[in-house]
Chain A
Amino acid sequence: MRTLAWAGRRAVGLRGEAADLLRQAQTERRWSNVTLGVGIAIVGALAVAGFFASLIAPADPNAVDLTQRLLSPSREHWMGTDPFGRDIFTRTLYAIRLDLVVVLVITYVPMVLGMIVGALAGYFRGWVDAVTIRVIDAFIAFPFIVLVIAVVAILGPGLQGVYIGVLAVGWTLYARLTRGDMLVLREQQFILAARTLGYSPRRVILRHAVPNLIRSNLVFSMADIVLNLLLLAGLSYLGLGVQAPTAELGAMVADGQSFLLQAWWVTTLPGVVIVVLGAGFSMIGDSLADRLGQKFGVVG
């Protein structure tokens, strides 16, 4: 009888623990949903505002009016004006559009390229892999931004330099990630099975392996987007990225820095937009990593 009572207490105790675990899991799930929602709302709202900039914006982004210099935020100029008398709110909208487009390009073009290179290296191994991995190691040995700045310095400042610089360096991270996944994947029996069915290497890689590799790359790309946003703003701030007078968030931060004490808004408000946009992408990335990372046990 005593053992029975004891067992009963254990069971009740377990039920309590199980309920706690369940509650904890549900809370985590709910927070993940909230995070995803907030992230999508932030990025979505800014993206819509940016893409309809020409309809929403109250002024011309490049209209210089020296009589209106450095006005503080008011009903007329929501974010004030910059040292050339341009409306900062207008410029911010145009800058968001430009930044989003550039950031998507410099994230996903290297992703596709890196995935292809990594998949080939991991699948064929041998000298293809040896050469690829040495090249990747050589790139990764340098700080990312130093290499990009070097490329931009050679090609001259401007968006073209940013595109080429980031593409030249950015693919390596995706290639390394994909190669690692591919090494695991190629020993999976469904890849062996596809080969024993006489499918061509091209078909095995593109149709059978790559769909299994996209998941981890997408998760990684969400973190990469944030870094690329900061990179683009940083390069433009240094005068290596987008050139005046085109509105770009990092360049706008640079525009106002000598007036920081008289007109804080010129630098601060575009800076806040960078932070908010980056935070939005981070939130989407984190909750996607939670969801995509655990779906299948096979890879990533």
Chain B
Amino acid sequence: MMSADTALRAAEPETAAPPLLTIEGLRIGFPSLEGLVLAANDAHLTVGEGEVLGLVGESGSGKSVTCRAIVGMVPHPGAVLGGRIDFAGRNVLEFSKAEMRELRARQIAMIFQDPASALNPVFTIGHQISEVLRLNAGLSRAEARNRSIELLERVGIPAPDRRMSAYPHEMSGGMRQRVMIAMALAGEPRLLLADEPTTALDVTIQDQVLRLLEDLRRERNMSMILVSHDMGVIGTAADRVAVMYAGRIVEIAPTDVLFSRPDHPYTRALIDAMPQLTPEDRSDLRTIPGQPPDLLKLPEGCPFAPRCPLARDECAEVSMELTAVSPAQSSACPFARDGS
């Protein structure tokens, strides 16, 4: 069998590099008593080689589920209903269980939100990192130990050789998140899925962890999807941003474009809602009016219409397809540029 790696190189032309990850028309459904809930509804996005894609949206917009679908781990009882997820030229939705495990072991790694439960409480961190190296990189026990110490040192754990025998509960949240990152990097992944990696940390530690992720990504030319609901985090760390609302990608654009010329009204509302701490602007925090949508009772057409300042009757007939606003920016709202 051809390994995913060689398959990739064969599929990769020398000139214009295709994106490492392409998601097309992804639909993920969760059965519920009142009907089917679509956590991802016709979602499209791409992640280039070495690129950081920020995925923003409020709680329940489908960010995490989309990430988990990439490694075939949609939480029970959800399921992928349609679409494609092409990683390095192959549709991972068609992978066998063995291929999927191979993909997780060597190509795609994931880090999670809550460092309190991200490490197994009954094993030392040395044991847990060494296990990844022995199983996924085929190192011997002694090699794995040395490599683990290197990795811990790389992610900024002080006195890594002594920390090897520490249990997770002996470490702080930030330290545990660093260990988690070390474990994720042990398999030399090409794509890192970071599901709200800094949400549970306090602000100074958040910044350190983001910097660490950025450094590591540069060193390894790794791609990354950074899921967050924090526009500040996205603004500092992402190259491009995809904005998700009610299971749909409503806008996708390079970070600087998105912040300077947001197109979709939802994106604008998110950026307006960011707190400004300047002497001139002492206004109250701005919020988005209305409630996050009930995924069971979505309106026809644009799901954001009930909360949208630009809403009009035609919103019920909008196809929600992403159309190019400028070469790098696409948006799902056809009316955003009408008034201006």
A-to-B contact residues, CB < 8 Å: 125, 187-190, 192-200, 203, 207-208, 211-212, 296, 298
Residue among A188, A193, A298 with the most chain B CB within 10 A?
A: A193
Chain A-chain B contacts (Cβ-Cβ < 8 Å), number: 68
Proximity bits, B99-115, A CB within 8 Å = 1, else 0: 00111111011111110
**Is B76 a contact partner of A189 (Cβ separation < 8 A)?**
no
B-to-A contact residues, CB < 8 Å: 71, 73, 75-76, 101-106, 108-114, 117-123, 131-132, 135-136, 169, 180, 183-184, 187
A197-B112 in contact given A212-B120, A212-B121, A298-B121 (Cβ < 8 Å): no
Closest to B187 in A: A197
Chain A nearest Cβ from B131, distance in angstroms: 8
Closest to B76 in A: A125
Distance A125 CA – B75 CA, assembled complex (angstroms) = 12
**Is A197 a contact partner of B117 (Cβ separation < 8 A)?**
no
Would you mind naming 13 contact pairs between A and B with Cβ atoms under 8 Å apart? A189-B112, A190-B117, A190-B118, A190-B120, A193-B118, A196-B73, A196-B108, A197-B187, A198-B106, A211-B120, A212-B122, A296-B121, A296-B169
Selected from A187, A193, A203, the residue in CB contact (under 8 A) with B180 is: A193
Selected from A196, A199, A298, the residue in CB contact (under 8 A) with B109 is: A196
**Is B183 a contact partner of A189 (Cβ separation < 8 A)?**
no
**Is B104 a contact partner of A198 (Cβ separation < 8 A)?**
yes
**Is B112 a contact partner of A193 (Cβ separation < 8 A)?**
yes
Chain B nearest Cβ from A16, distance in angstroms: 32
Closest to B98 in A: A200
Closest to B186 in A: A197
Distance A195 CA – B105 CA, assembled complex (angstroms) = 9
Distance A276 CA – B59 CA, assembled complex (angstroms) = 58
Distance A179 CA – B153 CA, assembled complex (angstroms) = 39
Selected from B76, B103, B105, B183, the residue in CB contact (under 8 A) with A193 is: B183
Closest to B128 in A: A190
**Is B105 a contact partner of A198 (Cβ separation < 8 A)?**
yes
Chain B nearest Cβ from A214, distance in angstroms: 9
**Is B118 a contact partner of A199 (Cβ separation < 8 A)?**
no
Q: State the 3 A-B residue pairs at the shortest beta-carbon distance, nearest first.
A: A198-B105, A198-B104, A196-B110
